[in-house]
Amino acid sequence: MKQLGILVLFIISLIALNCTPCHAQRNYNVLFIIADDLTTTALSCYENQSSHTPHIDRLATEGVRFTRGYSQFPVCGPSRASLLFGYYPHATKAFGYTSGRERVGTGRKSLPQLFKESGYYTARVSKIFHMGIPRDIEKGTDGKDDPASWTETFNSQAAEWQASGEAELVQNNPDGLIERKGGNVMTIVKADDDDLAHADGKTAEKASELIRRHKHEPFFLAVGFVRPHVPFVAPKGYFAPYPYEQIVLPPRVVNDWGDIPAPGINYVNSVNAQMSEEQEQKAIAGYYAAVAFMDAQVGKVLRTLRDEGLEENTIVVFTSDHGFHLGEHRFWMKVSLKEESVRVPLVIKVPGKAPAVCNSLVELLDLYPTVAELAGLKPSPHIQGKSLVNVLDSPKQEVRPYAFSVSKKGNTFSFLVRSHKWAFIQYGEDGSKGLELFDMEYDEKQFNNLAHNPHYQPVVDRFRQVVAEKLKEIRTNDLSINYKTTDR
């Protein structure tokens, strides 16, 4: 009888051992941090040693840092709809300022919704789905949010371009007569107030509060920082390390625009924005200061996670919705499919996994299946990204042969196919609006368009075929066709 009892205990122990890892995996917390308009060229953990981002840098040394991560659309709304619902823009048809839910329908789950319906507390702090910056921050409104995704939501209202302090408009202000202006323009404000007077300071405080409040239950906490999106607003101390007089502008090539098709000329550039070289220097300095401010707020949230003893049970993701031009090709802001606009920082830190650097081509679309798998959840088989879980253990693996991104100017769509060696951009679905081809091994700044050089015609033909095949693949899961299909 005694031996039988020992045997029963032994079996129970085995069952417990076998179940424990699965249970722990299912209950990983997720801290999802996304910045707005953050280019890799402004982070010291990537290639810019002139900027100072110690908190993001530290996270990058603790997790897996992806050097070739790409947004699927270099505009806030379509990018966020794509990564949060797990579909390419030509499947969601979310090309504008939208959450994406309008096209996806009620049957498809967003990434946070998957966690919510699996028993997690899910919260949004500030901008996760699309918000108009600065308007929704000024008003404290939800923007194009998706209520089905969240247990709770919190907005971070702030004065933005109207914050007290020294201000200067550096765009469409050739005479320097306008001190500040609202909207999607480059107004710089060296604010008098401290961090907590501004949106990202409030976001960090609320996120930290939620971590402390919900540390005893599984949570998916999405933290959206609005900087460095214009206006470039930060407490004035963050500007001190970046005197504009010391800013070196990007290199310029005579007749740089001569081989760029008309749809590829950025909608904001130094010419149509009437920016002097001094204003360009001030814009870059203002952007760096906004990045430094955002980085400090990231540090506060990560410090709370450490202080509460949650690092060993929390997946941390840090990324941006797309990049940002800082005068390259005399381009500013986003929308273009050039490297600075479409490439994004991406760090994934998972408890128990070794820090690493991964040079594989990956897409923001890959975050949905990756985070779900890490937490032991099953996403819809219809989503279009690829899980990066195996890469976290073996960072030298290749995830995909190329990354695919889309943009739109007027009625013209443009398409990027980015391989390790080549960046191919096609304007118009049939290429009739223009083509670009860059050898990224020898021309990483993309000055020499090889698309019309007969020697490279086979490369161009191959990539045009890739675009056609990719669009066909995406559209087999066009959500307007499969509208009644659910993920349940």
Give phi and psi for 386, each to the nearest 5. Answer: -120, 135
| Per-residue tokens: 116 | 């919510």
- Sheet of 187-191: strands edge to edge? 165-169, 187-191, 232-235
Average pLDDT score, the chain? 93
pLDDT digits (tens, 9 = 90+) for 157-171: 999 999 999 999 999
The H or E element containing residue 78 is helix 76-85
- Render pLDDT for 66-113 as a digit per residue (tens, 0 to 9): 999 999 999 999 999 999 999 999 998 889 899 999 888 998 999 999
Return the amino acid letter for 152: E
Each residue of 177-199: pLDDT tens digit? 999 999 999 999 999 999 999 99
Report pLDDT for 103. 86
Nearest partner of 43 among 329, 268, 287, 355, judged by Cα: 287
The single residue listed with the structure tokens 């901008």 is 127
Instruction: Report the run of H or E that residue 233 belongs to, with start and end.
Output: strand 232-235
Count the Cβ atoms, other than its own, within 10 Å of residue 131.
27
64-70 vs 356-363, strand pairing mode = parallel
- pLDDT surpasses 50 at 340: yes
Q: Which of 16-30, 125-139, 219-233, 313-327 has the lowest mean pLDDT?
A: 16-30
Closest CA to 55 of 216, 272, 293: 293
* pLDDT exceeds cutoff 70 at 487: no
Give pairs for 244-252: CB < 8 Å, separation 24+.
Answer: 244/278, 244/281, 244/282, 244/284, 244/285, 245/281, 247/281, 247/282, 247/284, 247/285, 249/277, 249/280, 249/281, 249/284, 249/327, 250/326, 250/327, 250/328, 250/329, 250/445, 251/445, 252/330
C-alpha span between 205 and 298 (Å, rounded):
10
Q: How many CB atoms lie within 10 A of CB 353?
A: 17
Domains located in the chain, CATH noted: 25-401 (3.40.720.10)
pLDDT, residue 385, reads 96
Single pTM value for the model: 0.93
- Number of neighbours of residue 9 by Cβ within 10 angstroms: 10
Report d(CA 258, CA 262) in Å as an integer: 10
| Distance (Å, whole) CA 279 – CA 221 | 38
